[in-house]
Amino acid sequence: MLNVQTTPTSPVSARWQPHPGHHPLRLESDERWSTLAELRNLLQYDAHLLRCDDEALFQRRQLKVGQTALMTGQPFDGLYVVRLGTLKAMITHADGGVHVLAFPMKGTLLGFDGFYQNTYMSDVVALTDCDLVRIPASSLFSPGRGNNHLEHMAYWASSREIIQEQEAYSLTRSVKSESRVARFLHIMSGRFEALGFSPNRFILPMSRRDIGHHLSVTVETVSRAFSALVQLGIITVDFREIKILSRDALCNFER
């Protein structure tokens, strides 16, 4: 179900249409709830003050591999914070070209691009089973309520997403493709480490094609870059399992 076959009729969306069997807003059966304190922890907002005595609870939404979290053209209904799993945020251009904006993981904010036109502007699909926490739009803009802190936190996190998007941009800038792949592996290593996993041995959740669409190179180039790094003794590769043998040497290739 990669493409929803519909004839565009709604002015708000040429690509997304509700249809039988598709209930994006329906609650999952095994849904549970998250507290405001957990949201704060997920977003790493602890550097700022935030009263967490609020009794607000937030829906969770569970996704299986391949399921869609957000779709271009879908009406904006709030923000999501990744609690578990890895996803792929991408844009499909008119000519069929694909660009992978980011690989959201635990603590990443999703959906801010839907604010502008009350419509999400990117497709986000689950690369692994995922667990999201939903911040409904109603709780963001309710006037007079005491959750001004929630609103502030949401926009703080949005600003962070912009910064990280700019960092991702720098991945496509360097001239040599091997450098981009080396940088990509370095960044992934750091993200796994920040999540409590080993930074020197991990399994990539995305395909070579996804990596290519993220770095703006072809699949073959990604594969060749991996092989070159293996040849130099910097990493080992077993399909999606990566072991980093020399982090220093990896950094030296990032230019």
Is residue 240 near DNA by the rule CB under 7 A? Answer: yes
Query: Within 137-196, which residues bind a copy of itself (CB under 8 A)?
Result: 141, 143, 148, 151-152, 155-156, 158-163, 165-166, 169-170, 172-174
Q: Give strand pairing partners of 68.
A: 125
177: partner contacted, choices DNA, a copy of itself, none (Cβ within 5-8 A by kind): DNA
Pairing of strands 235-238, 123-126: unpaired
Query: For residue 27, what is the DSSP state?
Result: P
From 137, 171, 237, 249, residue interacting with DNA (rule: CB under 7 A): 237
Q: Nearest approach, Cβ of 231 to DNA (angstroms)?
A: 9
Is residue 221 near DNA by the rule CB under 7 A? Answer: yes
Contacts of 53 by beta carbon, 8 Å cutoff, 6+ apart:
none
Tally of CB atoms within 10 A around 20: 5
Is residue 255 near a copy of itself by the rule CB under 8 A? Answer: yes
Tell me the longest C-alpha to C-alpha distance in the chain: 62
| Nearer of residues 88 and 191 to DNA, judged by Cβ | 88
Number of residues lying near a copy of itself (CB under 8 A): 36
| Nearer of residues 10 and 117 to a copy of itself, judged by Cβ | 117
Is residue 177 near DNA by the rule CB under 7 A? Answer: yes
Give the whole-angstrom CA distance, residue 193 versus residue 108: 15
Q: Is 163 in a helix, a strand, or coil?
A: helix
| Nearer of residues 121 and 237 to DNA, judged by Cβ | 237
Give the whole-angstrom CA distance, residue 234 versus residue 8: 50
Give the whole-angstrom CA distance, residue 80 versus residue 200: 29
From 227, 233, 251, 255, residue interacting with DNA (rule: CB under 7 A): 227
Per DSSP, which regions of 64-152 are E strands?
68-70, 78-84, 87-92, 98-102, 109-110, 123-126, 130-136
The encoded tokens of residue 90 equal 């991408």
Query: Within 88-107, which residues bind a copy of itself (CB under 8 A)?
Result: 91, 93, 95, 97, 99, 101
Query: For residue 112, what is the DSSP state?
Result: G
- The window from 127-135, 161-169, 171-179, 193-201 that contacts DNA (CB under 7 A) reads 171-179
Residue numbers of the site for a copy of itself (CB under 8 A)? 91, 93, 95, 97, 99, 101, 112-117, 121-122, 141, 143, 148, 151-152, 155-156, 158-163, 165-166, 169-170, 172-174, 216, 255
Residue numbers of the site for DNA (CB under 7 A)? 175-178, 207-209, 216-224, 226-227, 237, 239-240
